[in-house]
Amino acid sequence: MRYKTLFLTIASVIFIVTGFNFVRSRGQGRPPLKAATMQIRVYRINADGSVEEKGTKTAYQSADGSYGWTLRDVTGHVVQRIVADSKHNGVFLVQKDTGVRILSTIGKTVADLPQEYRSMPGYAGETSVFGETAYIEKGTKERNGGDSEATRIPSLKLPIKLINFNDDGSQSIEEVVSILWGEPTQDKVRLSSKLKLSETDLFEKKLKKEQPQ
């Protein structure tokens, strides 16, 4: 896999693991995460208003905070598979019979609180999606590394909608189109015992370098 694709993978993982700069979920008494399977449309709105389909993503989340996703291109070919397994406390890029640890954390394991969303620097309002209250955050290059808008349901680690505003006037968008609540099958959020596991600190260093101070 080319480095450009790998870095795009990590950018997505960083967004999930770190979440809002201002929000940190810790301690007992917080609401739990919800198990779910999400179907996601991946597309681009060009500067001239035309829409270009880029593929689809199926994302999986367990109630313990483990998650995974499979990204496919417009032909249905799998181009990326991620598994964040709580039993291994890490995020892995899975390719054929190997799993490469790219982060040594799976991120939050409980949900964030409404007051935390409302007090974050980029708070931009609330909406209702899939029967849940969702919170909107606007990101900036100074604070988040790029202009963006994320809509989040507290019990889910992946944004319901993520818009990145590109310098050429286009928008790169990932948008959840359906949610099936309930635990996914274990193979979606757990590493197979048959995988050959290895590690790299390349992306860990990138995370530390780009983490806002």
- Give the residue extent of every domain in the chain: 3-210
**Helices 3-18 and 202-210: angle between axes, nearest 10 degrees:** 50
Tell me which residue of 25, 35, 26, 104 sits closest to 66, measured CA to CA.
35
Q: What is the pLDDT of residues 187-198, one digit of tens each?
A: 999 999 999 998
Looking at the DSSP assignment, which residues form a beta bridge with residue 181? 36
Per-residue DSSP letter, 2: -
Is the CATH code 2.50.20.10 the one for domain 3-210? yes
- What's the rounded mean pLDDT across residues 62-89? 94
Residues 34, 198: Cα–Cα separation, whole Å: 30
Cα separation, 116 vs 78, whole angstroms: 36
What are the tens digits of pLDDT across the range 154-209?
Answer: 999 999 999 999 999 999 999 999 999 999 999 999 999 999 998 765 565 555 55
**pTM of the complete model:** 0.85
What 192-201 contacts at long range (C-beta under 8 Å, 24+ apart), as own/partner pairs, is 194/97, 195/94, 195/97, 195/98, 195/99, 196/97, 196/98, 196/99, 197/88, 197/92, 197/98, 197/99, 197/100, 197/101, 198/98, 198/99, 198/100, 198/101, 199/100, 199/101, 200/100, 200/101, 200/102
Q: In the prediction, which pLDDT does 146 show?
A: 77
Confidence of residue 83 (pLDDT cuts 50, 70, 90): very high
Among 146, 151, 153, 177, residue whose Cα is nearest residue 162 = 151
User: Can you tell me whether residue 138 is helix, strand or coil?
Assistant: strand
Angle among Cα 153, 163, 92 to the nearest 5 degrees reads: 70
Helix, strand or coil for residue 140? coil
Strand partners, 138: 149
What's the mean pLDDT in 113-118? Answer: 92
Give kind and range of the element (H or E) at residue 86.
Answer: none
Q: Tell me what percent of the residues of the chain surpass a pLDDT of 70.
A: 79
